[in-house]
Homo-oligomer: A and B are copies of this chain.
Amino acid sequence: MDKYVYTLRLKVRDYECDLQGIVNNANYQHYTEHTRHEFLLAHGISFADLHARGIDCVVARIAMQFKVPLRSGDEFDSCLWLKKDGVKYVFMQDIFRASDHKLCLRAQVDTVCLINGRLSDCDELNTAFAPFFR
């Protein structure tokens, strides 16, 4: 668990479960997005504020492996570490069920910055993330 630089404890909300009684897959994307944005906030950067200043972080690619489904009442730890790859910020995000530490989701999320609509390297994010790049 040493590689993670941020962990957010969350709990399944019943409306996130679908007719199979398990968390609908799309909600894992919500979980990983919320975790990234909370990681940003923890380091003084607001996704909404960036947008207001013409800096849009967008997802270019996502790869997700669904391992064990989360269910009503489950708590889980949403963990991330990150690396830089050219202009991309690559987030490695894993979700573990709290009760038994089983891996539920393994995800890689490649994000890029658009500054005033143009693909750009973002000094502000580079500086904020520098201590965390692996």
A contact residues vs B (CB 8 Å cutoff): 13-15, 17-21, 24-27, 29-30, 33-34, 37, 41, 46-48, 51, 56, 58-66, 69, 71-73
Which chain B residues border A60 with CB–CB below 8 Å? 65-66
Q: Is the CB of B56 within 8 A of A20?
A: yes
- Knowing A30-B26, A58-B69 are in contact, say whether A14-B47 is a contact too (CB < 8 A): yes
Q: Is the CB of B48 within 8 A of A72?
A: yes
Q: Is the CB of B14 within 8 A of A18?
A: yes
Q: Is the CB of A59 within 8 A of B25?
A: yes
Q: Is the CB of B72 within 8 A of A14?
A: no
Which chain B residues border A71 with CB–CB below 8 Å? 48
Bound-state CA distance A120–B72 (Å) is 24
